[in-house]
Amino acid sequence: SRNTDGLIGAVANVLRDRGIELMDSTALLQPLLAAPGGLTRRGPTVDEQKDLEFGYRMADAIAGLDIGQTVAVRQQAVVAVEAMEGTDEVIARAGRLAGPGVSVVKVAKPRQDMRFDVPVIGIATVRAMQDAGASALSIDAGRTLVLDGDAVITAANHADIAIVGRPVQAVDAHE
């Protein structure tokens, strides 16, 4: 398989065969992992929360198939799905297709291998959301890195974007 898990997993297996064990890439980055609950001043509206909850099922499904980790939803309809282009491109496409009010759901894979390919958001994610008119973002708590977290939250608050950390149960992907 030439997907991310297949390629990086094969490298990890070769290294393991040579006595090198890869560690969880977030082991030294725990403070950067998203916390559960509301992360911004504003929480999702009732309609945004409905979109996020709808989006969880869709995002979890595509992540489980290793297609992507992000979906954009508006009025409980998926308007954009991530594949290889990355989160910011999905957000931009969703804004073009559905206009303002898009909600974005970014998840970890059901058996996310925390040694590599960990979901990440940063200031560029907030800027992409602002440019697209997206209004809410959900990320998986404890399984998503928030780079430059204070700046991300400040920018989201300034743009009136709600960000929440969805509590999830982690599963060890390389047991």
* Chain segment 30-65, per-residue pLDDT in tens: 899 999 999 999 999 999 999 999 999 999 999 999
pTM greater than 0.75 (yes/no): yes
Summarised one tens digit per residue, pLDDT across range 2-31 is 666 666 677 767 877 888 877 677 777 889
* Helix and strand totals (H; E) in the chain: 5, 8
Q: How far is CA 38 from CA 16, 43, 59, in A?
A: 39, 6, 19
Torsion angle of C-alpha atoms 154, 168, 51, 102, degrees rounded to 10? 40
